Amino acid sequence: MVRSVGIFRSDRGHKDWNLLTGILKKRDVKVHDNIADADVSIVISGRFINLLILKGKKVLAYNAHEWLGNVPVPSGFNMYKPVLDEYYDDYIDLTGISVEDCAEKIIKYIGKCNND
C-alpha cells in the first residue's frame, strides 16, 4: 500500500534543518512549510509546529542536542519524551549524524512507510 508522506518543518529553527530540507528537495522529496494532508506526517525538529493540525501518523525527526542544550544528551531529550509520546507515534533519531546522513535516514523511513 502506498501511503502519502508529508515532511513538515517551520521556517524558524536551526540552520542545519534548512540545509536538510534543501537536500531533501534536491532528492525530489516534498517538504511542506504549510499544512497538507498526509497518511504519515514527518516533523523535522518539532519546534514551532502545532501537531494538532497534522493528520495521520506523526513522526518526529529530531536531534537530541536541540532539546536541552545544557543537559547532556540524551538526558535532555528523555526529559521531554514522555510528553512527546502523547503526540508522536514514532521517532527518527538524527542526533550526531551529518546533514546528508539525516536526509538519507528520512528517505529510508519514507521507503519503509510505503513497504509496510
Contact 5, 42 (CB under 8 A): yes
Which pLDDT does position 89 carry in this prediction? 96
Measured between alpha carbons, how far is 114 from 49 in angstroms, rounded to an integer?
Answer: 25
Residues of the chain with pLDDT > 90: what percent? 44
Could you tell me where the beta strands, DSSP code E, fall in the chain?
Answer: 5-8, 31-32, 40-44, 57-62, 90-93
Domains in the chain, number: 1
* CATH code where residue 59 lies: 3.40.50.2300
Residues of the chain with pLDDT > 70: what percent? 95
Q: What is the pLDDT of residues 30-83, one digit of tens each?
A: 888 777 889 999 999 887 788 888 888 999 999 988 877 787 878 888 888 999
Task: Tell me which residue range forms the domain holding 68.
Answer: 5-115
